[in-house]
Chain A
Amino acid sequence: RKEVEQDPGPFNVPEGATVAFNCTYSNSASQSFFWYRQDCRKEPKLLMSVYSSGNEDGRFTAQLNRASQYISLLIRDSKLSDSATYLCVVRGLTGGGNKLTFGTGTQLKVEL
């Protein structure tokens, strides 16, 4: 089982739609959670951290369920500029370290 699993997509949605991405992680000792955005042939950039109580940043809402080891990202009122790959990222105490582990990413395409 992969440490961080995501549906690779692609998710093709019309502009203005609401879309949700899910992510599961295997290490129950994981401590921090993030969503990163990666545009084609560019480096990943932090979209938002994910907190236990859930958090919102404009059109983006992130949720964490520690019991189910599940993270979600909701994008409301999708824009063409939201088209990118969204990477679920988990930081935990694996192997004595504190590395960031990435999922394979979920590709989003927002269309007119």
Chain B
Amino acid sequence: DTGVSQDPRHKITKRGQNVTFRCDPISEHNRLYWYRQTLGQGPEFLTYFQNEAQLEKSRLLSDRFSAERPKGSFSTLEIQRTEQGDSAMYLCASSLGGTTEAFFGQGTRLTVV
């Protein structure tokens, strides 16, 4: 499978715990995006990378959220001290350059209890 893959697919965690998600983009894609989606809403931008550089981060993203793409390949998204409001689908996407369409992974569904 050469598409975007995300791991885990589902995560249930207790409030206050830290969680980390992984995204493996399509291999030749240099851009990687993280989005969050809640029920009835479109995907909400969190951050994106060009290679290993984090080029933009949403101002809606609190300090509890951090993302890395250390070698310009896979990326991780960490949420510290999770809150119930963090419950959502976390989607990763990748694209080749900044003008082509983005391809999404199947997402990681986070439930904070």
A residues whose Cβ falls under 8 Å from a Cβ of B = 4, 8, 31-32, 34, 42-46, 49, 87, 91, 95-105
Contacts and interface: CB of A to CB of B under 8 A. Distances in A.
B98 A91 contact: yes
B21 interface: no
Interface of B: 33, 35, 40-45, 48, 55-56, 91, 93, 98-99, 101-107
B104 A43 contact: yes
B98 A98 contact: yes
A103 to B, nearest CB: 5
A42 to B, nearest CB: 7
B101 to A, nearest CB: 5
A68 B87 CA distance: 37
B48 A91 contact: no
Interface centre among B56, B93, B101 (most CB of A within 10 A): B101
Nearest to B95: A100
A28 to B, nearest CB: 18
Contacts of A43: 91, 104-107
A44 B104 contact: yes
13 contacts: A44-B43, A44-B91, A45-B104, A46-B102, A96-B56, A98-B48, A98-B55, A99-B45, A100-B45, A100-B93, A102-B35, A102-B42, A104-B42
B107 A97 contact: no
Contact of B101 (A34, A87, A96, A105): A34
A102 B43 contact: yes
Contact of A100 (B33, B106, B107): B33
A62 to B, nearest CB: 13
Given A46-B101, A102-B45, 12 more contacts: A34-B101, A43-B104, A43-B107, A49-B101, A91-B99, A96-B56, A97-B48, A98-B55, A99-B45, A101-B45, A102-B42, A103-B42
